[in-house]
């Protein structure tokens, strides 16, 4: 079964590793384009991660990507830094948070 954005976002809280994000209090907005276009956000606070559909009023960082590219980045098929350099992944706001993002979740 192919991974969808809906499935990926719903699995984020379970893949979150709180020990990799001590004291972090941040909301990350995801803007997906392409086949599964839509808005989601993830809030990391008090050692927990929660995701929701929609637009958050004040995210610390916004990540914009084609939905299929983001799935490949999240599963490790595409390197996130390379995707960023190639313009497949756009970031706005706290870029240090983007670096932490890759370390805060265990894939699979």
pLDDT tens track for 86-101: 999 999 999 889 888 8
What pLDDT does 74 receive?
A: 82
What pLDDT does 76 receive?
A: 85
Domains of the chain in start order, with CATH, are 5-13+25-101 (3.30.1050.10)
Q: Phi and psi (nearest 5°) for 97?
A: -65, -35
The reported pTM is: 0.92
| The CA-based dihedral angle spanning residues 81, 83, 86, 92, taken in that order and rounded to the nearest 10 degrees | -80
The tens digit of pLDDT for each residue in 7-37 reads 999 999 999 999 999 999 999 999 999 999 9
Q: Which of the 8 DSSP states describes residue 19?
A: G
74/72 Cα distance (integer angstroms) = 6
Q: Phi and psi (nearest 5°) for 30?
A: -110, 125
Q: Which residue has the higher pLDDT, 106 or 12?
A: 12
Arithmetic mean of pLDDT, 57-78: 93
Q: Phi and psi (nearest 5°) for 46?
A: 55, 40
């Amino acid at each position: 079964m192919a991974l969808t954005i809906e499935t990926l976002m719903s699995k984020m809280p379970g893949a979150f590793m709180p020990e990799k994000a001590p004291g972090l209090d941040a909301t990350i907005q995801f803007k997906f384009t392409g086949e599964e276009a839509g808005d989601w956000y993830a809030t990391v606070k008090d050692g927990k991660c929660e995701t929701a559909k929609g637009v958050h009023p004040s995210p610390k960082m916004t990540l914009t990507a084609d939905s299929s590219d983001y799935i490949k980045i999240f599963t490790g098929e595409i390197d996130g830094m390379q995707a960023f350099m190639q313009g497949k992944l756009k970031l706005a706001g706290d870029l240090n948070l983007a670096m932490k993002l890759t370390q805060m979740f265990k894939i699979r």
